[in-house]
Amino acid sequence: MKFDTPATTNPIDQLKVIGKPTDRIDGPLKTTGTAPYAYERHDVVANQAYGYVVGAAIAKGKVNAIHVLDAKAAPGVIAVITHENAGKITKGNFNTAKLLGGPEIQHYHQAIALVVADSFEQARAAAQLIRVDYERSDGKYDLAAAKDGAEKPKAGGFGGDPDTSVGDFATAFAAAPVQLDATYTTPDQTHAMMEPHATIAAWDGDKLTVWTSNQMIAWGKGDLARTLGIPKENVRLISPYIGGGFGGKLFLRADVLLAALGARVAKRPVKVALQRPLIINNTTHRPATIQRIRIGTDKDGKITAIGHESWSGDLPDGGPETAVNQTRLLYAGANRMTATRLAVLDLPEGNAMRAPGEAPGLMALEIAIDEAAEKAGIDPIEFRIRNDTQVDPEKPSRPFSQRQLNECLRLGAEKFGWSKRSATPGKVRDGDWLIGIGVAAGLRNNLVTKSAARVRLDQRGIVTVETDMTDIGTGTYTIIAQTAAEMMGVGLDKVVVTLGDSSFPVSAGSGGQWGANNSTAGVYAACVKLREAVAQKLGFNSADATFADGQVQAGNRSAALADAAREKELVGEDGIEYGDLDKKYQQSTFAGHFVEVGVDAATAEIRVRRMLAVCAAGRILNPKSARSQVIGAMTMGVGAALMEELAIDKRLGFFVNHDLAGYEVPVHADIPHQEVIFLDETDPVSSPMKAKGVGELGICGVGAAVANAIYNATGVRVRDYPITLDKLLAKMPV
């Protein structure tokens, strides 16, 4: 199905099932422990052996010799795989570093060996017997030190052009009556998902099946085939349940490749789970940034010049953190510039983490907007509203398809009690606590991409959906079931959803906040095909037929839906393909984030007291699961603001706090009451579903809202995340 004109009225608009706050249909499986995750697939193949990964103990250099004889002789050991016996391996399209290192070492904890044994304990014990002779090389591990040597990255990809310019920024900024010029930093962060990267691999002749934890099935299948040098059709990747990903499982990782290599050498199925230190040092992470923001306004607070420069680092041939991109769209201003620079660092690979670009970029921009508002003497919400734009500021002929940012801010201010906020920082107390309220705007773009599905109807009237789409804890099973139920006119009890198998039609996959809108649009397209087949079988004109309550009706005649499949199953398969509407219109989602904090006047301990997000994100397919996505993202935003930081050993080039004891994330006690409000919005430009996404919008701006609340409470402006009490103490009001 080609989607190249805005959606008109269609069966989804009935909202009999879509739009309802429906419990997740996978919830009972997950709460009872019966949803099978990758490492737990004891049912899929017999005689599974265990693999244990050995990571490099240096960050850069080479392996001169790797001694494995003692490990091979250890009890229960079946095989030891290294670069010396792994065979020819190619680097995947989506990987920056090789998944199996040696003799060259590109980063700390790069996998250099896999020990396969009858039990996990035997594999782990034998791994300790491997001895490696390294030749260490000097590396670069400090972004600040490498900043001056950073270069302009390649154009293209998700980041687009690294540099943009409209008007004459330098002249306009120099002439502005009100000026802000400030630098902000965000640290390296890790995904910290609950489920580790884990895989079971089994060969049947030259055919390979992997049960793994992966967000993008088609990407993983293609890269695994490429890495192993085997035909794509010989690989099957299965991932029906994923215990968190946040972008960390978008791409093929070492557990998948090593399980496949181990199974090939051992001649039996092998299962591999990365240890938590390897998850943090071996897989991808969110790179640190240094961001300089300059804002010039006139005396009325209208932005006349806005410039945003960002520096980040990655391995050679890696990519930047696109922290400037939201600044290109969020506020008006005739004179603009953005610049992205990339330094070569020999740290583990930097890549996508929930809302890549916007999350760290808005942590800086939305503090800068508050600072500019204060310099102009204007309320921070009013300042944002004055600088609203209904068109792409870089391309004024290109309007936003929907843009209700001002409505998010106004409604949030009313619901949160913004009028009671003290404009003068450090003036509101509750006993020993200094109280502050902060706001930030959120923006995350709506990305459209092809997505397909297959829908079956059997003689019982059961509708089965098959697509390789994944559910990473987002509620995908449920919204796809809701879509099929709405389209085919049946209850949810008559719908079966099967996901995460590369033998199914290729979907959008889970990432970039594009999963919900695109995958349901693909199911919509397949259901249209099935509706046509049903109508033809029953002798109806498909254009006139209505599907409701398990019946198909046209004019004064009706028939049971199941009757169409009485003789044999009917199948509809199709996908959504997009025209150029995303080029004619800027498609984005928006949020107003509000946070109240308390800061202990004596110790500078910070406590978040309440939070509110008001979101405009197209049609909300399931308000219950959407709210769950947003409050989870808000929680991650609190972590980014107050505690999350990968500490780098800048001598040896590794993340020191590489476990969940040293890498702090929020716990229940850190998170108070959270409220989410969705504006009533449909966006017919986005897809037939008229939906967008909220999974990443919920984190965009939260960190800055926390930072701005801390400033309002204390009068201390911290521009270096995370905001810890040591950065406040010396300047606290007496």
With left for phi above 0 and alpha for psi between -120 and 50, is residue 323 left, alpha or beta? alpha
- Give strand ranges (E) for 324-406: 335-344, 391-392, 395-399
Collapse the DSSP code of 342 into the 3-class scheme (helix H, G, I; strand E, B; otherwise coil) and give the result: strand
CA 360, CA 189: separation in Å to the nearest integer? 10
Q: CB 682: neighbour CB atoms within 10 A?
A: 18
Collapse the DSSP code of 110 into the 3-class scheme (helix H, G, I; strand E, B; otherwise coil) and give the result: coil
Burial class (CB in 10 A: 0-12, 13-18, 19+), 583: exposed
Q: Are 171 and 165 in contact (CB under 8 A)?
A: no
Edge-to-edge strands of the sheet including 495-498? 2-3, 570-578, 451-457, 463-466, 495-498
Burial class (CB in 10 A: 0-12, 13-18, 19+), 460: exposed
Collapse the DSSP code of 424 into the 3-class scheme (helix H, G, I; strand E, B; otherwise coil) and give the result: coil
696 given a catalytic annotation? yes
Q: Are 409 and 439 in contact (CB under 8 A)?
A: yes
Could you tell me how far CA 521 lies from the centroid of its own chain? 20
Proportion of the chain in helix, strand, coil states, percent, rounded to 5: 30, 30, 45
- The dihedral sign for the CA sequence 93, 96, 99, 101: positive
Could you tell me how far CA 137 lies from the centroid of its own chain? 34
Q: Which residue has tokens 């040896």?
A: 652
Q: Are 81 and 113 in contact (CB under 8 A)?
A: yes
CA 477, CA 492: separation in Å to the nearest integer? 11
Q: Which residue has tokens 């970039």?
A: 512
Catalytic pick among 195, 374, 644, 696: 696
CA distances from 495 to 250, 477, 489, 628 (A): 28, 10, 11, 23
Q: Are 4 and 580 in contact (CB under 8 A)?
A: yes
CA distances from 660 to 190, 196, 607, 644, 714 (A): 10, 12, 21, 11, 30
Q: Which residues are catalytic?
A: 696
